[in-house]
Amino acid sequence: MDARSTVKEYYDALRAGDPLAPYFAEEHDGDDAFVKFGISERLVGSEQIQTGLRTQTETTAEWTVTSHALRVSERGTHAWFSDTVSMGWINTESGERHEFDTRWSGTLTKSSNGWQFVGMHVSTADEL
């Protein structure tokens, strides 16, 4: 599978409520500088990312994820992507629906587990 397919598969997993942690690389040799920025969070290190993704999956439902401008580049064992994404979900604790137009970017690395994210940034795309 190529890096583009991995990004698309991640979007599909988000929509389906499937586990997301397998899409992120884990610590190797004490190097745990991986980071995931969400709209309202900053998760640093494999453990925080995995815990945050599990909590997100457990407390949200009915995701919509619509990619508008996915761009992916690969060079050897590294890849990077950017996208504009319309997304929404229901917070299962409050019942409130959230919807955002967002910007995504990230970096992936290729390992024996295939392509995995080592960095991801999701932010809202507020007009100036």
What the chain holds in terms of domains, given with CATH numbers, is: 3-21+33-124 (3.10.450.50)
3-state per-residue secondary structure call for 91-105: ECCCCCEEEEEEEEE
Which pLDDT score, from 0 to 100, does residue 27 have?
A: 78
Residues 6+ apart with CB under 8 A from 44: 33, 34, 35
Residue 54 pLDDT > 90: yes
The pTM of the full predicted model, rounded to 2 decimals, is: 0.92
CA of residue 112 relative to chain centroid, distance: 20
